Amino acid sequence: MHREEANGAGDERLSGVVDRVSFFSPESGFAVLRLSSGADEAGMTVVGCIASVSPGQHIEAVGRWQNDRNWGMQFRASTLSVVAPRSHEGMENYLASGMLKGVGPHLASVMMGAWGTDVFTIIEGQPERLLELPGIGPKKQRQIVESWQEHKAVRDIMIFLQSHGVGTARALKIYKVYGADAVAVVSRDPYRLTRDISGIGFRTADAIALSIGIARDSPLRARAGISWVLQELSSRGHCRVPETMLLDSARQLLQMREDILQEALKSELTVGHVIAEGEGEDRHLYLESLWKAEQGVAEGIKRIASGKLPWGRIDVDRSVREAEERSRLELSPSQREAVRLALTSKLLVITGGPGVGKTTIIRTLLSIPEVFGLSVLLCAPTGRAAKRLGEATGREGRTIHRMLEFDPYTYDFKRCSSNPLNADIIIVDEASMIDVVLMNRLLSAISSKAAVVLAGDVDQLPPVGPGAVLADVISSEAVPVVRLTEIFRQAAQSMIIQNAHRINRGEGLLRHEGPELTDFYFVSASGPEEIRRKLLSVVAQRIPERFGLDPLEGIQVLTPMNKGPLGSQSLNTLLQERLNGGGGKRVERFAVTYGRGDKVIQTINNYEKEVFNGDIGIISAIDDDDREMQVLFDGREVRYLFSELDEMAPAWAITIHKSQGSEYPAVVIPLSMLHYPMLERNLIYTAVTRGRKLVMVIGEEQALATAIARCTSKGRLTGLAAALRLPIG
């Protein structure tokens, strides 16, 4: 092995031969390698990202030594690459490593005996000479040459990308998407990376573009910048933006003259990548995909709302009366009026906070004699919300993705306008969570004959994706809306529900006094350290002892942010160590350690496994031999290869945004002025309404008061409400 200083920043350069590949993920490129030891030194572990690697290959690594708590001393490489060896022995080991298809130890020895250290030159420049050797026919020759060329292409691509400032992990992502065409694609239009490669933003693509000689005032750069600004605004929830806002943001990003930006915008409008609505100062701009989604939602709502009722003309008062008798439910006057409206409306919105009877209205509607015999579909955006809806109504609840029959092979839904859902009535719960893109797909799959009920709490956080469909539909006044405000007797006894409504009105919390147990507590704490200490005590001891709730399945910590001392990442490390820090088999992937009994959350939609963003499970087994992990999601076992663990994260603590659509027996909410950028009324309201039996807020009085008082978010920039007000046609 060879070591030397790599640069003035303290990095070292390390080179040697791979003795063992302890772990390698083809998907992410993450590798743990053991380099063979020389006569005078012990072997060493190298960790980093590489396109491909096999024992016997020579590698070069640039990075630093790190003493890992679990794995000891390691060399963590920022750059890791395979290099061609120069010595006779090194070349033979390289060929014998299995890197080239068809070449094993015996043939490697034959090739080295025939050509010595010229072997690589002959494979690349005179491949026909391979046929001179015994045991190599035309088929094996093709295998060797193609395999050599593939590895050379990977090396060339990685060298090209790294020479333009792209790190190994990102270079590997680019290679995985574009393959052998990567150099040509990136050279032609490096800004494609922002559209095609997850995790690569405009600044990375722009650095590559400038490095390969694309001018700062290039029209290509201007057009890419305009599209990127729209993409960034959509990631904040906006569908459309005023033209002046777009151009101001693009000017800040690109530092370009106004005339170049205007010309670039004109080009994007001409080819249809950007869509304009309105004129002059009222002109707004969309990404094409979001404009189509918004128009699709508006058209779908108008189409469904204007059709005939599937139950025909009925005596509404008699039907409601019979439904009450049949279901043994006694409706309040406001609930009775809501059911009447549902029976006379093809598309209805029901909104309101906790304890106001949204589910009671749905159950009553489904027990109407004329409705009871019709085909009904119940759905919600998340698995937990769908399960809760099914339990409340006594019918099967499904996720929207499952109901629309997502096909992972075509990466599309089977249910659509040409293959609509077979149902007379479709009830959609937690509709406030549904973004404009998913709502468009849902509505397009609903036939004009079906009636639709959209139920949700419009005062909760808006969807993670772009748009604010439920809020826009309500504000448009284009369809009937039932807004429930009356808290019913049983619900009114809950301090959770009382305080949720007080928060929504901007009022201070009711505080509990006395020794008897209640369902809502505020625990005052000063500063992050005291909050962390009290939170750990509450989750690990006080709640389990006083309320009999299991920390694993009964308690969920909800925090406003990911980062910081009170963020989900830091709290997960703390809680995991306290609640599941004993012995047992563990696996470390992507800088996170997992063990049997850990709580985890899915962070992306995985349609093949039918596990979706926000689903929480518990690790039930870890199998080192098969390199896989088993996770239980609501009693269903799902298997993950170790290489797939980048799609999950620890879930002892999760962000409030991730909790949307879910309920937990108990929630614990840390609140500090460190969370100031996130402190908004709808955030704390959403967190409090996630608790079913117990809510405990631990934090600073000032942070709580700020969150309740602050309702300054300007909402999302969309055009759906205006589109719904336009006449059909």
**Residue 7 reports pLDDT greater than 60:** no
pLDDT of 571 above 90: yes
**Of 556-565, 581-590, 602-611, 713-722, highest mean pLDDT:** 556-565
pLDDT at 590: 65
Q: Is 312 annotated as a binding residue?
A: no
Residue 37 clears pLDDT 60, i.e. is over it: no
Q: Is residue 110 one of the residues assigned to a domain?
A: no
103 is in an annotated binding site: no
13: domain CATH number is 2.40.50.140
457 and 515 share a domain? no
Angle at 353 between CA 350 and CA 354, to 5 degrees: 115
Average pLDDT, integer, range 67-96? 76
pLDDT tens string 129-151: 999 888 888 888 888 888 887 77
Asked whether residue 411 carries a pLDDT value surpassing 70, the answer given is: yes
In angstroms, rounded to a whole number, what is the distance separating the alpha carbons of residues 523 and 698?
A: 5
650 with 544, same domain: the answer is yes
CA dihedral for 350, 354, 358, 359, sign (positive or negative): positive
Decide which of 686 and 334 is more confident: 686
Q: How confident is the model at residue 70 (pLDDT cuts 50, 70, 90)?
A: low
How would you classify the pairing of strands 451-456 and 347-352?
parallel
**Which residues are within 8 A (CB) of 60 and not within 5 positions of it... i.e. 6 or more apart?**
13, 14, 15, 80, 81, 83
* Average pLDDT of the residues in 222-251: 94
Determine the average pLDDT of the residues in 493-501: 91
pLDDT at 38: 54
Please state, in angstroms and rounded to a whole number, the distance separating the CA atoms of residues 708 and 680.
7
What average pLDDT score do residues 463-486 get?
Answer: 92
| Residue 87 confidence (pLDDT) | 74
441, 551: one domain:
no
> What band does 40 get if pLDDT is binned at 50, 70 and 90?
very low
pLDDT score at 101: 77
Q: Could you tell me the two tokens for 718? A: 């969309």
Residues 520 and 479 occupy one common structural domain? no
Inform me whether the pLDDT recorded for 236 exceeds 60.
yes
**Within a domain: 68:** yes
Q: Do residues 439 and 575 both lie within one domain? A: no
CA distance 599 to 658: 14
The residue among 93 and 209 whose pLDDT is bigger is: 209
Does 167 count as an annotated binding residue?
no
Annotated binding-site residue? 177: no
Q: Order of strands across the sheet with 274-277?
A: 240-242, 284-287, 274-277
Across the chain, mean pLDDT equals 87
Asked if residue 725 is part of any domain, the answer here is no
Whole-number pLDDT of residue 720: 96
d(CA 659, CA 237): 18
Q: Which two tokens stand for residue 706?
A: 């700020």
Rounded Cα distance between 65 and 275, Å, is: 52
Give domain status of residue 623, yes or no: no
User: What confidence category does residue 544 fall into, taking pLDDT thresholds of 50, 70 and 90?
Assistant: very high
Average pLDDT (208-232) is 92
Last residue of a domain, one of 83, 114, 146: 83
Q: Which residues contact 352 (CB under 8 A, 6 or more apart)?
A: 358, 457, 482, 483, 484, 485
Task: Quote the pLDDT of residue 27.
Answer: 59
Q: Percent of the chain scored above 70 by pLDDT? A: 93
Specify whether 463 is located in the same domain as 499: no
Residues 603-619, mean pLDDT to the nearest whole number: 85
pLDDT (tens digit per residue) in 149-207: 777 777 777 667 767 767 666 776 787 788 778 888 888 898 998 888 877 889 888 98
Residues 6+ apart with CB under 8 A from 424: 310, 311, 374, 375, 376, 449, 450, 451
- pLDDT digits over 421-445, tens only? 999 999 999 999 999 999 999 999 9
Residues 478 and 501 in one domain: no
Provide the pLDDT confidence category of residue 39 given band limits of 50, 70 and 90: very low
Q: Is 597 a domain residue?
A: yes
Which carries the bigger pLDDT value, residue 165 or residue 494?
494
Whether residue 513 sits in one domain with residue 446: no
pLDDT at 654: 95
Q: Examine residue 176 and state whether it is found in any structural domain, yes or no.
A: no
Q: Is residue 255 part of a domain?
A: no
Q: What is the domain-level CATH number for residue 336?
A: 3.40.50.300
Of 453, 484, 515, at which residue does a domain stop?
A: 484
Contacts of 164 (CB under 8 A, 6+ apart): 207, 208, 211, 212
Whether residue 442 sits in one domain with residue 304:
yes
Residue 127 tokens read as 């491949």
| Residue after which a domain boundary falls, among 484, 511, 542 | 484
What CA–CA distance (Å, rounded) separates 517 from 514? 8
Cα separations in angstroms, 476 against 262, 439, 465: 33, 16, 20
Q: For 249-303, what is each residue's pLDDT tens digit? A: 999 999 999 999 999 999 999 999 999 999 888 899 999 999 999 999 999 999 9
71 pLDDT higher than 50? yes
Residues 6+ apart with CB under 8 A from 27: 176, 643, 644, 646
Rounded Cα distance between 127 and 438, Å, is 54
Q: Which residues pair with 441 in a beta bridge?
A: none
- Residue 234 in this model has a pLDDT that exceeds 80: yes
Domain count along the chain? 3
Residues 541 and 478 in one domain: no
Does any domain span residue 665?
A: yes
Same domain membership, residue 374 and residue 507: no
pLDDT, position 61: 85
Domain hosting 502: range is 494-606+645-709
Whether the predicted pLDDT of 600 surpasses 50 = yes
359 labeled binding residue: yes
Taken in order 229, 234, 239, 242, the sign of the CA dihedral is negative
Same domain, 429 and 463: yes
Q: What's the mean pLDDT in 518-531?
A: 94
Give the CB-side neighbour count of residue 335, counting CA atoms within 13 A: 22
> How far is 599 from 632, CA to CA, in rounded Å?
10
Place 99 in a pLDDT band, splitting at 50, 70 and 90.
low
